[in-house]
Amino acid sequence: MRRDHVTLTVRHADPDADRLPTVVLTVEESADQLADRLVTVDRDSLGADDVDVAFRLQDPVDADGATGVFSLSNRVTGAFLLEVNTDADALLDIARTAREDDADASYRVLVQQDGQEVAVYEKQTLLVYDDEGSLLRQHSLIPSGVEL
């Protein structure tokens, strides 16, 4: 899937909001192609535990207008499910809001197509990498007890 077939928007990234911060991925490709990406080898829908979420900066984290690549990948196979270029501030706001607003530091990833919800993943982990590929722990969401 090409990155330009996916758009990313952020909802509820305000710590005063009553809802989970949410990353909305709107996919513009055939329903069959998307469905094939979001299932296990046994054709079961991927659950939140089957999906890893990461954000890799393309610029230094403190640069004005920094951008990066947000991705969902299959935890078992490592295959990228969806990728999209996006503004770094919006993604870092999701992590910041989740960390400040919820004891579990939860957020939601919603995948939609043609205005329909295709998949929803409630997550507690968001790994943020710098432009050289090093993990930025201070900007990531890493549940306690998880070793990387």
> Is 61 a domain residue?
yes
Decide if pLDDT at 57 tops 80.
yes
- Residue 77 maps to a domain: yes
In a domain, 146, yes or no: no
Q: Are 104 and 26 in contact (CB under 8 A)?
A: no
> Is 94 among the domain residues?
yes
Residue 114, in any domain of the structure: yes
pLDDT classification of 30: cutoffs 50, 70, 90:
confident
| Domain annotation covers residue 92 | yes
- pLDDT bin (cut points 50, 70, 90) of residue 16 is low
Q: Look up residue 109 and give its two tokens.
A: 């990833």
Quote the domain boundaries for residue 51: 3-139
pLDDT value at position 42? 86
64 confidence band (pLDDT: 50, 70, 90): very high
Domain count, the chain: 1
Percent of the chain with pLDDT over 90: 63
- What pLDDT, on a 0 to 100 scale, did the predictor assign at position 35? 86
Q: How far apart are CA 21 and CA 19, in angstroms?
A: 6
145 domain-assigned: no
- Structure confidence by residue, pLDDT tens digits, 81-138: 999 999 999 899 898 888 886 567 789 999 999 999 999 999 999 999 999 999 999 9
pTM of the model: 0.90
Q: Quick one: three-class SS letters along the chain?
A: CCHHHEEEEEECCCCCCCCCCEEEEEECCCHHHHHHHCECCCCCECCHHHEEEEEEECCCCCCCCCEEEEEEEECCCCCEEEEEEEEHHHHHHHHHHHHHHCCCCCEEEEEEECCEEEEEEEECCEEEECCCCCECHHHCECCCCCCC
pLDDT at 122: 95
Pairwise pLDDT comparison (57 vs 35), residue with the higher score: 57
User: What is the structure's pLDDT at 71?
Assistant: 96
Residue 28 placed within a domain: yes
52-69: string of b/e by CB count within 10 Å (b at 16+)?
bbbbbbeeebeeeebebb
For the stretch 31-43, pLDDT in tens is: 888 888 898 888 8
